[in-house]
Amino acid sequence: MKYLLLIYSNAENWEHPLFLRDPAFLALPPEERDALAARAEELFTEISESGELVAGTALGDPVTARTMRVRDGVPVATDGPFVETKEQLAGYVVVDCDSPERAAEIAARIPDARFAAVEVRPVMTASGLEM
Amino acid sequence: MSGPGDVSGPGDAAVPAGRVEELLRRSAPRAVAALARRSGRFETAEDAVQEALLAAAEHWPREGVPDRPEAWLIRVASRRMTDLLRGEAAARRREERAAARVPPDERVAPAADAAADAAAGGDGTLTLLLLCCHPALTPPSQVALTLRAAGGLTTAEVARAFLVPEATMAQRIARAKQRIRAAGGRFAMPPAGERDARVRAVLRVLYLVFNEGYTASSGPELHRAELTGEAIRLARELHGLLPRDGEAAGLLALMLLTDARRPARTAADGSLVPLAEQDRGLWDRASIAEGTALVTRALARARLGPYQAQAAIAAVHAEAARAQDTDWPQIVALYELLERLDPGPVVRLNHAVAVAMARGPRAGLELLGPLAGDGRMARHHRLHAVRAHLLEMAGDGAGALAEFRAAARLTTSVPERRYLRGRAARLTG
């Protein structure tokens, strides 16, 4: 079962890995910051080696976003993201794992879950059971 | 890599790809078993055979199938294995700054216990299946390794069937083999005390493979449909190896009886057709006859288990010429049996449907009551879908509509959602 993990982060302090310049992160004692960064590394090594990681990437700052709308057949572009919020979609990971519980566990171990949020969304499939 | 002519003369040129594929899949587990048994190195043997399979897939269709395909594969793979072991030995030397204890050529020589192993595992296919379903692995890893090592599929084919990138699948398989080794697993029959649990694990893996394929219906997922054929082939092989195991027979029967409905389960536009509305004339009579005979024989002779019970339910459905001829009281009795053998929310749901058909919708709805209190089930589309059907049967159109809509939003399957929305639309129309 595949899940899209949406990593939200405060766009003011965008950097990659995403959480590195988050004020809440920077306020932590150095050893705790190191431990958190190391745990993030560990998580990505773990899900790559297990074959659960399907895809993932960080996204550019929302100021680089363009949102397209077509009205009466005319495409109109506006600068900036579709939804204006403090926390923006900063990156995503697609995992293929055993259960929704495992997907939630992976999401909770992404450090940004601690500073903003990571949303877990199942990916639709073209398979189905007759009822 | 050499051509096919060195083991035996080339056969007919320009062989159809389908025949080559079938030969490779049949020969692969025996080649892995032969090399793993000789060398005691399952992981390397499995990699070497995978490379030999890729070479064969390239050479055979063009140059003809060798007279002894299995010997060809073993020859090419063992040559490749010598290279791989030499590479591993060199790496180890670099790490340890010491000479490898045994030269690689000796390592591919027969191991001392090969004869005993051969006696225990026949041609090694059973040993291989049991190793691929090692308890140190998660079910998805067991599935991936079984399909590649015992099913003879290439990494690319397994990846395509599970809709993940090839690199992801390669990683999953490599990791699975490392885990087996770390857990002390080796290419040998497990001790007698563990054997039964391991056979149950193989049955579960084959069942998972079958379901992955069976639920695929259209579009980008069509490659997955091949998995049902693979699962049936491996289940047939396992039943041949363990003819007295009632559950191995039951699983093969269940697969045959379920797969028999495949031509009727989707409409021309790819939408799902529920069992009650399927054109039973499209059901595969030969599969039904074989599955029914298998489960009947198993039920008479072997210890009862959940696959036999499920196969028996499928057989009762199959023998009804029309949906309204279904022997629901018998299906209810079989679900009661299944709930004792293998209780779980999905069995309970199906049981409730059968009870509704036999005794009326209110009796079915009563059985669903306890499930609604289960937090995980409350968010599960199947609970809402079943409740919707039963409410509709009971004449509660508004209740059914709400439940069909809830189920449609909760499912992550495109065809299921389309079906559920269609049922909701019928109620509003």
Contacts of A121 (CB under 8 A, 6+ apart): A3, A4, A5, A6
CATH number, domain of A47, equals 3.30.70.1060
- B215 with A55: Cβ contact below 8 A: no
d(CA B220, CA B160): 10
Question: pTM for the full model?
Answer: 0.86
Q: Which domain holds residue A23?
A: 2-122
Residue ranges per structural domain of chain B: 1-100, 125-224, 243-266+279-326
Is A14 among the domain residues? Answer: yes
- B272 with A53: Cβ contact below 8 A: no
Number of domains in chain A: 1
Q: Is residue B308 less than 8 Å (CB to CB) from chain A?
A: no
| Residue in A2, A96, A126 nearest the CB of B414 | A126
Is A129 among the domain residues? Answer: no
C-alpha B413 chain-centroid distance: 20
Residues of B in contact with A50 (CB under 8 A): 138, 141, 171-172, 175
Residue B97 region, left (φ>0) first, then alpha (ψ -120 to 50), else beta?
left
Residue B379 has pLDDT above 90, yes or no: no
Q: Is residue B218 less than 8 Å (CB to CB) from chain A?
A: yes
Residue B233 has pLDDT above 70, yes or no: yes
Average pLDDT over residues A39-60: 90
d(CA B287, CA B257): 6
Least confident of A78-82, B94-98, B278-282: B94-98
Contacts of A129 (CB under 8 A, 6+ apart): B215, B272, B413, B416
Q: Which of the given ranges, A52-66, B74-88, B90-104, B251-265, has the highest pLDDT on average? A: B251-265
User: Which comes out higher in pLDDT, residue A16 or B412?
Assistant: B412
Residues of B in contact with A49 (CB under 8 A): 171, 175
Q: Is residue B210 less than 8 Å (CB to CB) from chain A?
A: no
pLDDT band at B221 (very low <50, low <70, confident <90, very high): low
Return mean pLDDT, chain B. 88
Average pLDDT over residues B260-264: 93
Q: Which pLDDT value is given to residue B116?
A: 42
Is A55 among the domain residues? Answer: yes
- A131 with B220: Cβ contact below 8 A: no
Packing angle of the helix pair B69-96, B42-63 (nearest 10 deg): 140
Q: Which pLDDT value is given to residue B114?
A: 43
Give the model confidence (pLDDT) of A93-121 as tens digits.
999 998 899 999 999 999 889 888 999 99
Is A49 among the domain residues? Answer: yes
d(CA A7, CA B30): 47
| Residue in B164, B169, B273 nearest the CB of A130 | B273
Cβ-count burial B11-36 (b if 16+ within 10 Å, e if not): eeeebeeeebbebbbebbbbbbbbbb
Least confident of A16-30, A78-92, B349-363, B379-393: A16-30
Q: Is residue B140 less than 8 Å (CB to CB) from chain A?
A: yes
Task: Tell whether ipTM is more than 0.95.
Answer: no
Residues of B in contact with A130 (CB under 8 A): 261, 265, 272-275, 278
Average pLDDT over residues B399-407: 97
- Closest approach of B265 to chain A, Cα-based (Å): 7
| Residue in A50, A124, A131 nearest the CB of B412 | A124
- B385 with A98: Cβ contact below 8 A: no
Q: Which pLDDT value is given to residue B364?
A: 97
Instruction: Work out the end-to-end distance of chain A between its first and last CA atoms, rounded to an integer number of angstroms.
Output: 20
DSSP codes, A88-112: EEEEEEEEE-S-HHHHHHHHHHSTH
Is A20 among the domain residues? Answer: yes
